[in-house]
Structure 1
Amino acid sequence: MRIESKKDLISWATFRNINVYIDKVEILSNINIDLNYGENILILGPNGSGKSTFLKLLNRSIYPIASKHSSLKLFNQENINIWDVRKKIGFLFKEMEQRVNKGVKLYDLIISGFSGTFNSRYSKLLSEKEKIKIYNLINKWGLNNIIDKDFTSLSDGQRRRALLARALVYEPNILVLDEPFSNLDIKSNYILNKNINKLIDQSVNIIYVTHNLESILSKTNRVLLIKEGKIIKDGNPNELITSKTLSDLFGISLNVMKQEEYWRGIPE
């Protein structure tokens, strides 16, 4: 067995008997799963099924109910410093865009990946190494011409690329993306999809949520289906992204097909 294959079996996150309640309502129930290096994981499920909550367990913005039978480990640690997490995992959540106040420049948005605050004064504290990282990301994500623009004035596609650049400032090898393709036009969707696949080629592992089958990353090699707070299926995309499985998942008759690298689902 090659070394690469062995690495694929190493877990970076382990969930054991995880239950999550928000305002006394059960959102996730009895989650038992390992997330491993070498996997690019798609999470599919109806609205309200617990997909975003599952991802928020990874950035510690939501905590499960503690019990002697439950545990959630990141990088083999139950108690891990949040800044250590952020250096190893990049996060993009859909509500991030709403948290940015008017007047925050795109450049300041990106460097906030280091500080956690949208403050232009932090730019004066950047090390030369950090500045190089920032400008490399600006070039890589095609943001040069809008770097001084107000973040709130940008298009959805530009905002999404900026937030991804922000998520990559520590050069993490794991990216957690909650609906990264939402509200994007065809061109922006294609560009973002292509660039994320390039990150996968550079050994970045992706775990993401999308509602659009056409946005499924071609390099996805694992799918989790979540319904009513439970993981009901876990397997290979070609086995789970089928007409019957997704019709059952979403409660609607779908004709699911794959053409070259892209999936489509058409209501029947």
Structure 2
Amino acid sequence: MRGLWAEEVSYSYGDFGIDGVSLKVNPGELVALIGPNGAGKSTLLKLIYGTLRPHEGRVLVDGRDVHRLSPRERAKLIGFVPQNHVPTFPFRVLDFLLLGATPELGTFGAPGEKHRKRALELLKTFGLEEYADKPYTSLSGGQRRLLLTARALMTSPNYLLLDEPTSELDLKNALLVLQTVRKLANGGVGGLLVIHDPNLAYLFADRLVLMKNGRILAQGKPGEVFDEKLLSEVYGVELRLVDCSGETVLRPKLEV
């Protein structure tokens, strides 16, 4: 039974909670979680990856309970790119990337030539090859995000979860990440990403999931979720759908 899905997942802390959320990501499908700050998108992503354990419900990956997998088993199946990562040691960029191969290695194993080749290919994909021998701590915030995305791909996972993968990136590199994830989905990888820009979600995702206050308000194909009234209410600002050279674009109503 292929797929990554949450079944009636609930989780609460303080005054906030995820309330009975069900969501499935199919192999070869790219799903985007959208919604305002504090909607619960990042929390849901952590529940699906297994960083957090739901108080109710369960999360399955290809028919297996995520929370019954060892961290090594889980990392082989699911790649995860966190929203924030604070470097603690000045690893070489190449060595930091090779750490992503750890789930494939034995207890005392070390990365081999195939891992090094894979790492170099990923550095090239994300335009970081010239930084291979530089300290990870010397990279900019955007470059670190690119490297974190590359590291999540070291084990060629079946599913990829990304929490705000375009934050701190300029337009060129934001598109690079999204185009890479889109290609992975076209090749059979299931992708789930949290993204703040609904327009980018519309352009790249197969399905949008709109959240607010820990609940899913709507999900479906981008054209089905892009509803002016619904999105205006959720985001708290008057929005308009406009046609831009054949593409639908969401834009705020400007007061001048």
| Superposition TM-score tier, normalisation by shorter sequence | 0.7 to 0.9
Alignment of 1:224-239 (within 5 A): 224-239=209-224
Identity of aligned residues (%): 29
Query: Which amino acid letter does the alignment assign opposite residue 54 of structure 1?
Result: L
What are the superposed Cα offsets for residues 28-60 of structure 1, whole Å, 9 maximum, x if unpaired?
Answer: 001123332232101111111110011001221
Residues 95/242 of structure 1: CA separation in 2 closer, same or farther (3 Å cut): same
Aligned equivalent of 2:50: 60
Q: CA RMSD in A?
A: 2.4
CA deviation after TM superposition for structure 1 residue 261, in Å: 5.5
**1:151 matches 2:136:** yes
Pairwise CA distance, 1:198: 2.6
1:113 maps to what in 2? Answer: 100
Moved more, 81-90 or 149-158: 149-158
State the secondary structure of the residue aligned to 2:134.
coil
Is the CA contact 1:40–1:207 (under 8 Å) kept in the aligned structure 2?
yes
Write the deviation string for residues 57-105 of structure 1: whole angstroms up to 9, x where unpaired: 1221101114xxx332222122222222211111111112x2x125222
Structure 2, unmatched stretches of 5+, are: none
Q: 2:33 aligns with which of 12, 18, 43?
A: 43
TM-score, reference length from structure 2: 0.86
The 1:215–1:105 alpha-carbon spacing in structure 2 relative to 1, beyond 3 Å, is farther
In structure 2, how many angstroms separate the alpha carbons of the residues matched to 1:131 and 1:56? Answer: 29
Instruction: Name the amino acid aligned to 2:34.
Output: L
Distance 2:59 2:175 in 1: 35
How many residues of Structure 1 are paired with residues of Structure 2 in the alignment? 248
Structure 1 match to 2:168: 183
Give the secondary structure class of the aligned counterpart of 2:8: strand
Map 1:176-215; keep pairs closer than 5 Å.
176-215=161-200
- Give yes or no for the alignment of 1:83 onto 2:72: yes
So what's the TM-score if we normalise by structure 1? 0.83
Does the Cα contact within 8 Å between 1:179 and 1:208 map onto a contact in 2?
A: yes
**Displacement of 1:258 after TM fit?**
5.2
- Aligned mates of 2:223, 2:80 — CA distance in 1: 27
**Contact 1:193 / 1:217 at 8 angstroms: preserved in 2?**
no
Distance 1:36 1:81 in 2: 22
Aligned-residue offset at 1:159:
1.6
**CA deviation digits over 1:133-164, x for unaligned, max 9?**
22222222222111112223223332222111
Relative contact order: is structure 1 or structure 2 higher (C-alpha 8 Å, sep ≥ 6)?
Answer: 2
Whole-Å separation in 2 of the counterparts to 1:60 and 1:177: 14
Confirm or deny: 8 A CA contact 2:145 2:165 kept in the other structure: yes
Which amino acid in structure 1 is aligned with residue 12 of structure 2? Y
What secondary structure does 2:183 align onto? Answer: helix
Map of 2:12 onto structure 1: 21
| In 1, Cα distance between equivalents of 2:183 and 2:167 | 20
SS at match of 1:233: strand
